[in-house]
Structure 1
């Protein structure tokens, strides 16, 4: 195939005068671009020295580097406000193994469901959740299922931190499902609530020491439940429940759990708290108690198993919440 020639006028005149065949590499444009190697245009440019990152001197040792197991970390924060007379999500952030889902409700309040995609907690895991309820908003927070605290290795402790901020006339129901502590599990759980004086809230945390139907028992471990509740910046409720070391011996005392293996703590701030105290005590029965502390309803309930605890806990929470519990509680 004949090569295609350059078509500019200068090239055609040059080829006609020298009787040259057309070639894509014999025109004057390429000849003009060829310059001596030593010219400034094609002169070799000095290479920049490579940047070396600073390396710290590591100590010389014969000891092996300790292995660190992979741990679960998750955080979730959400803010809610009133829009068109309904509580709606304003801002959301979630990362790691902690997720939030928001079912659609026919009523005006909002509901958030916490999901721990890691399937449970063990030593070294960390979860952090933060909720802000704006003025007049109504929020219920629960969990998809019971949280499980598995045996920890190396003495590490799992940490679960929950913070809630309630503005004027806001309402919050913190109703996670039960936490199951397995033998050797270690967890530190913190609940901090900062509420306006006219805000309303219902808080519940429960614990089950092993699953009775599975033949499980808890003899050793560590459980620390820390509550801090403030109204208008003033600390009105502080509670620390700690089980450590030989849990089985400590729980066998009559003043503790005795033959029971499930426990729940309920704290409520309601405008008619004093009027509800009698009905709350009747609903709890003999295996528990309720008191009025600093304007708050404080109750503890114990039961022989998680099933019996829920039988008592559901009517108590439904009565204080003035409505049904989240649907996931019945799944």
Structure 2
């Protein structure tokens, strides 16, 4: 006998089961350094996809290399990095390679960084660039606490798309938030936000004049203003007509330099030249691997 209800069930099938939630990356990396006759590792914690490696260095500050073993960041990923140096110490934290923010289905990737340095200590935060792919969404924050005469040298760089591969950047979402305090008092605050089509947002002269790579450098020290001549001398190669543009200013114990470049290769070359000249020291070896 013809059964209309059975035919309907065969033709439409049962309601599809809900798709399981996609797996997301979680990672925490914390490293601290103590100081006696020299600066050395005090404590290390790592979980999830965040790892820390301590390469051997000689006659130089210890280096902590942070690794994201997930291979990149997409919507819903959460990473947390912390680095600290005890009073009188000097340490460097960097990343193994460029971080990549990939296309997301929903949500955004989050990277939170916390840095601290005791009185008389120097902490250098020198990660390699973040590369934003089309339809990616990356939110970052950096909180820094300095005590007494502590010094922070920090740089963050961003590359939007891969111009060498002629990647079409239709949309991207990026937020970056910096808060640096000395003895609890806010001395530097910086926020950046890009949401939409990068070529349109960044075409103005007040932005990147059509460039797709930029960086911010800070040197927070009691005598930061005394280094402005050094900073500007180190930036002389990036004057009018140069492929990469850069400028520096100093006030209230904070020296800041900004970089704008047409692509990632130009920005990276400029940063390496500036950082090694300004710091009078080579960058961590991972920068050249």
Answer yes or no: same fold by TM over 0.5.
yes
Counterparts of 1:114-125 in structure 2, within 5 Å, are: 114-125=66-77
Partner of 1:241: 192
Structure having the larger proportion of residues in strand: 2
Partner of 1:322: 280
Partner of 1:302: 260
Q: Which has the higher contact order (CA 8 A, sep 6+)?
A: 2
Partner of 1:228: 179
Task: Please state whether the residue corresponding to 1:300 is helix, strand or coil.
Answer: strand
Root-mean-square deviation (CA, aligned residues, Å) is 1.6
1:197 aligns with 2:155: no
- Aligned partners of 1:82 and 1:283: how far apart in 2? 31
1:291 aligns with 2:243: no
Instruction: Indicate if the aligned counterparts of 1:209 and 1:217 stay in contact, CA closer than 8 A.
Output: no
Task: Please state whether the residue corresponding to 2:120 is helix, strand or coil.
Answer: coil
- In structure 2, which of residues 109, 124, 127 is the aligned counterpart of residue 158 of structure 1? 109
Q: Larger Cα Rg: Structure 1 or Structure 2?
A: 1
Counterparts of 1:244-283 in structure 2, within 5 Å, are: 244-283=195-234
Instruction: Indicate if the aligned counterparts of 1:87 and 1:110 stay in contact, CA closer than 8 A.
Output: yes
Gaps in structure 1 of 5+ consecutive residues: 1-61
- TM norm structure 1: 0.77
Partner of 1:132: 84
- Aligned partners of 1:247 and 1:67: how far apart in 2? 33
Partner of 2:157: 206
- Aligned partners of 1:196 and 1:321: how far apart in 2? 21
- Aligned partners of 2:229 and 2:38: how far apart in 1? 33
- Aligned partners of 2:63 and 2:76: how far apart in 1? 29
Instruction: Indicate if the aligned counterparts of 1:162 and 1:191 stay in contact, CA closer than 8 A.
Output: yes
Name which of structure 1's ranges 66-75 and 315-324 shifts more when overlaid on structure 2: 315-324
1:108 deviates by 4.8
1:99 deviates by 0.3
1:157 deviates by 0.4
Instruction: Indicate if the aligned counterparts of 1:173 and 1:321 stay in contact, CA closer than 8 A.
Output: no
Partner of 1:82: 35
1:182 aligns with 2:140: no
Residues matched between the structures, number:
268
Task: Please state whether the residue corresponding to 1:188 is helix, strand or coil.
Answer: strand
- Aligned partners of 1:209 and 1:110: how far apart in 2? 31
1:311 aligns with 2:264: no
- Aligned partners of 1:63 and 1:136: how far apart in 2? 62
- Aligned partners of 1:139 and 1:254: how far apart in 2? 37
1:148 aligns with 2:100: yes
Name which of structure 1's ranges 113-122 and 256-265 shifts more when overlaid on structure 2: 256-265
1:212 deviates by 1.5
1:126 deviates by 0.6
